[in-house]
Amino acid sequence: MVKYATRQIDLADSITDIQLDAEQSGIALTIRNGGRPIAFHLEATSPGAALDSHYLKALVAKKAGRELIADTLRREIRLRPIEEEAPSEEPSLTIAICTRHRSKLLKRCLRSIADLSPLPKDFEVVVVDNAPQNDETEHVTRTFDTVRYVREPLAGLDFARNRALAVSQKDYIAYVDDDTRLDPLWWKGLREAIQENPGVGAITGLVLPLVLDSEAQVLFEQRGGFRRGCEKLIYNGSNNPFNELYPCGAGIFGAGANMTLKRDCLLQIGGFDEALDTGAPLPGGGDLDIFYRMIRAGYPLAYEPLYLLYHEHRSDLRGLRRQYYTWGLGFMAFIKKSIAADPVMKDRFRTLVYWWIRYALKNILKDSIVKRSLPLSMSLAEFWGGIVGYCGEYSRSQKRVQKIRAAQGSVSTNP
């Protein structure tokens, strides 16, 4: 059994010894400086290892020394820390959780929202129950006095996301997955990103593992997980001289598990594409599509590490293999859709396809020859998903969506 401990060290506090449990053979260490994440490190150990403070200090110096210096300088060169600045008006916020039959996960997520420090001054929490077959989600939601319950009868994540957009009247909508737990400083990071980036249309944040209690969870995190690093980033415009595939490789922008969109900007570009993220046949691509369309519409996108939450990864290898398959599927479906919808960028997208094929085949070759962290079956699943996605999955999904609407006697829920 492969199991890693998840621990945090804040350099503003003293570093103390860490004792792993007997079944834990590694550690996932988040290094923070005054609350701000500056590094994340995975390390295999002997089972039940005792990591003393001297070892941990040396590890921090090695893995986060440069990051600590950069973070200290960033703080020092500011005339006033962002938390001391007084904006004329704090933005209002809808926190939207789109869910279906996962009441235990939902309850944990809602409790973490209640524990935010600070809490937004003007916010609401909306739970969108997507095509429910029972009332368990409604029952859980009603136990939280300040949470608003909404049903979306059409099955599909982007139907639910658009329902949240339709019912919200706040400045920003934060979409968080039901299998996540928000860090207590989540709102502080989001507010900081909004204040630092006037006119921002989208914000993504750091996503770290909630637990690493199985081989599948450890493998996923060893391959990078949902992480995009601990450095503030801002993306603006449709060209980047250092990346010929930008902005078509929309995976660089962040993860849909932790994204906030300015409501007016989202309405301006037409909301989410309901033919993406449609459930089992095509459970992906919606976040890639919305990030790409935001950038192409001229709205800046910011990545803020302090805007942080923890995601519970799939715990079994079969589920992980399915996830890699759907990543390839959703990515290529997004590409085929975008080539048709945005012909100005078709050459860049086609270059991206060639790059991705070479990348996938390289991974397959390495996994078949050299023993790496991820089993060969995962790389093969992602590649096969990409093939299926490129060969007409988006157009097939459009037809499925039409049938879903017809069966419900409904038109698009796009606002």
In sequence order, what E strands does 61-130 have?
93-99, 123-130
Query: Residue 85 has what pLDDT?
Result: 52
309 and 334 in a common domain: no
Contact 319, 272 (CB under 8 A): no
402 and 333 in a common domain: yes
Domain that holds residue 66: 5-77
The pLDDT tens digits for 218-240 are: 999 999 999 999 999 999 999 99
- 414 part of a folded domain: no
Residue 196 DSSP one-character state: H
367 and 279 in a common domain: no
Considering the entire predicted model, what is its pTM? 0.94
Own/partner contacts of 266-273, CB < 8 Å, gap of 24 or more, are 266/165, 266/173, 266/201, 266/290, 267/165, 267/415, 268/297, 269/293, 269/294, 269/297, 270/414, 271/161, 271/162, 271/165, 271/414, 271/415, 272/158, 272/161, 272/162, 272/165, 272/414, 273/158, 273/337
b/e map of 314-336 (b: 16 or more CB within 10 Å)? beeeeebbbbbbbbbbbbbbbbb
Query: Residue 414 has what pLDDT?
Result: 55
CA dist 147 and 110 (Å) reads 9
Residue-wise pLDDT tens for the chain (415 aa)? 799 999 999 999 999 999 999 999 999 999 999 999 999 999 999 999 999 999 999 999 999 999 988 888 887 776 445 455 555 579 999 999 999 999 999 999 999 999 999 999 999 999 999 999 999 999 999 999 889 999 999 999 999 999 999 999 999 999 999 999 999 999 999 999 999 999 999 999 999 999 999 999 999 999 999 999 999 999 999 999 899 999 999 999 999 999 999 999 999 999 999 999 998 899 999 999 999 999 999 999 999 999 999 999 999 999 999 999 999 999 999 999 999 999 999 999 999 999 999 999 998 998 888 765 678 999 999 999 999 999 999 999 999 999 888 888 765 555 5
Between the alpha carbon of residue 66 and those of residues 7, 30, 54, 63, the distances in Å are 21, 15, 19, 8
355 and 310 in a common domain: no
Strand partners, 362: none
* CATH assignment at residue 123: 3.90.550.10
CA dist 176 and 60 (Å) reads 30
13 and 140 in a common domain: no
274 and 198 in a common domain: yes
Residue 7: in which H helix or E strand, if any? strand 5-10
- 415 part of a folded domain: no
3-state secondary structure of 105: helix
3-state secondary structure of 190: helix
Contact 321, 220 (CB under 8 A): no
The pLDDT tens digits for 101-114 are: 999 999 999 999 99
% pLDDT > 90, the chain: 86
105 and 72 in a common domain: no
Query: Residue 79 has what pLDDT?
Result: 45
Query: Residue 409 has what pLDDT?
Result: 78
124 and 40 in a common domain: no
- 115 part of a folded domain: yes
**Residue found by looking up tokens 């609401």 in the block:** 124
Query: Residue 373 has what pLDDT?
Result: 64
109 and 52 in a common domain: no
205 and 120 in a common domain: yes
326 and 300 in a common domain: no
Query: Residue 353 has what pLDDT?
Result: 97
**Residue found by looking up tokens 């995009």 in the block:** 228
119 and 237 in a common domain: yes
Rounded (5°) CA angle 117-122-124: 90
Query: Residue 226 has what pLDDT?
Result: 96
Contact 50, 72 (CB under 8 A): no
Domain boundary (315, 339, 374) is at 315
Number of domains in the chain: 3
Contact 100, 131 (CB under 8 A): yes
The pLDDT tens digits for 33-75 are: 999 999 999 999 999 999 999 999 999 999 999 998 888 888 7
